[in-house]
């Protein structure tokens, strides 16, 4: 992101091209090599001073989006975890809504600049060095709980792992490199909320 401009005619986010390949297009071995570098890049994004980010995509905003999408029956069920695809989206949202007061407190104590759709296709790697070249698809960038980003990234990366043991090891390696004790309840909450916001 280079600049943000707004005026009477609307708003404009100015970005530059990011050279490289999406992280979901590299081999599992290369992703393993790049994993700590991805953790470093995500941490640096989350360390951007919140005062420098004019966008908000916090819990209240995203729950509002989810209510709208669910009310229009526009949720793409393929985005839901398999065990939730047969559950009413109204029920799924009601379950999440009961947690909102607690999640609101957590977000207030841990607001960072979030990517908003932090998954492997939106992380660009240099194919030679496997360093992170940058992030793309920043349409949902804004201030939010860091676990909103981490939930999506870790879940998406799990799809590349051969088994649960490897997935857990990768999650732990990421958390250690990033410098965080993962809150699995928060991860589950944001992983449940995100699919209800697309539609």
What is the residue extent of each domain of the chain? Answer: 19-197
183 counts as catalytic: no
Q: Which pTM does this prediction carry?
A: 0.91
From first to last of its 199 residues, the chain has per-residue pLDDT tens of: 688 788 898 888 787 788 999 999 999 999 999 999 999 999 999 999 999 999 999 999 999 999 999 999 999 999 998 899 999 999 999 999 999 999 999 999 999 999 999 999 999 999 999 999 999 999 999 999 999 999 999 999 999 999 999 999 999 999 999 999 999 999 999 999 999 999 9
Select which of 8, 83, 117, 145 is catalytic: 117
Beta-carbon contacts of 16 under 8 Å, excluding residues fewer than 6 positions away, are: 2
Q: What is the torsional sign of CA 12, 18, 22, 28?
A: negative
Classify domain 19-197 by CATH number.
3.90.1200.10
For the record, the structure tokens of 117 come out as 């759709």
Cβ atoms of residues 143 and 56 within 8 Å: yes
C-alpha 36/C-alpha 21 separation (Å) is: 17
């Amino acid at each position: 992101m280079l600049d943000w401009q707004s005026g009477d005619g609307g708003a404009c986010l100015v970005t530059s091209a990011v050279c490289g390949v999406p992280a979901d297009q590299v081999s599992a071995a290369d992703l393993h090599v790049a994993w700590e570098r991805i953790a470093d890049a995500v941490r640096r994004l989350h360390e951007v001073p919140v005062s420098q980010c004019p966008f908000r995509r916090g819990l209240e905003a995203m729950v509002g989006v989810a209510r709208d999408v669910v009310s229009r029956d526009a949720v793409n069920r393929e985005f839901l975890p398999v065990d939730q695809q047969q559950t009413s989206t109204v029920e799924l949202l009601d379950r999440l809504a009961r947690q909102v007061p607690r999640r609101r407190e957590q977000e207030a104590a841990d607001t960072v600049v979030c990517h908003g759709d932090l998954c492997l296709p939106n992380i660009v790697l240099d194919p030679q060095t496997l360093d992170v070249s940058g992030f793309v698809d920043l349409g949902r960038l804004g201030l939010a709980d860091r676990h909103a980003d981490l939930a999506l990234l870790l879940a998406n990366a799990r799809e590349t792992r051969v088994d649960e043991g490897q997935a857990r090891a990768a999650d732990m390696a990421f958390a250690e490199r990033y410098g965080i004790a993962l809150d699995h309840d928060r991860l589950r909450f944001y992983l449940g909320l995100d699919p209800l916001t697309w539609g």
